[in-house]
Amino acid sequence: MSLLGISTNSWFGFDLDDTLHEFRRASALASDQLFQAIHTAKHININTLRDDYRVILRSATANAFTDGRTSTEYRRERFDRLLQMHGVNEPPLLERLLEVYHDSLRENLTLKDGALHLLQTLHKRGKNIIVITEGPADAQEWTVRELGIQPYIDVLVTTNEVGRSKVDGLFGVVLNKYNIATDEIVYFGDNPVRDIEAARAEGILAVLYDTTGSTNLEDTNALRVNSWANVADILIRGE
């Protein structure tokens, strides 16, 4: 099937972070606020904090959030490690940093261009919308509420909830749990490996969302879109 035939699909799946909303941007801005708060309190160089935090993130997110903890628990662990690296052990400061990060994240949450219109279009056409994403369940539920897209999402599944990452069988578990046939669903994500290859391994029609590339609607093995307006237009035309 080419992408032009998706108007007949009954299920539309999406990744969340950096597919439906600007997660990297919001997270980066929240991290900057975190570093600034530590610098103000302890006069530690911001660039040093940024470099140290990158190292922490690489190891802390390696399990793709499959161990069932909450977003606050993950963040508290990361922020505490960052402080400990600089000899700081102050629980009140740690709690303040959690608030700073959370407040900044909320302030900077932004939907991708055309995402809301696409979800509304799918909803009006009676399509089932499922979000399959990696991350803590509480954080992803909070995110869809804050973005205002919860009314359009029928199912939200996270690695944290299921205990498997996308590259470790999450898609197959989802298909079985919700009795979704592979020919009924199309899935969109921004990561070529964790979204596209993992979904295709389960027989799902998977489409790369990449605003920096060109749109390909025909080649099943290399389907991609560079804007949500492309997908909404296909649905509206009914091709």
User: What are the pLDDT tens digits along the chain (239 aa)?
Assistant: 578 888 899 999 999 999 999 999 999 999 999 999 999 999 999 999 999 999 999 887 767 687 888 999 999 999 999 999 999 999 999 999 999 999 999 999 999 999 999 999 999 999 999 999 998 999 999 999 999 999 999 999 998 888 899 999 999 999 999 999 999 999 999 999 999 999 999 999 999 999 998 999 888 889 999 999 999 998 887 64
| Helix ranges, 109-213 (H) | 115-124, 137-147, 159-162, 170-177, 198-200
pTM of this prediction? 0.94
For residues 3-13, b (16+ Cβ closer than 10 Å) or e, as one string? beebeebebbb
- In the numeric block, which tokens belong to residue 27? 């997270």
Q: State how far the Cα of 86 lies from the Cα of 111, in Å rounded to an integer.
A: 36
CATH no. for 3-22+111-237? 3.40.50.1000
For residues 17-49, b (16+ Cβ closer than 10 Å) or e, as one string? bbbbbbbeebbebbbebbbebbeeeeebeeeeb
What is the domain partition of the chain in residue ranges?
3-22+111-237, 24-108
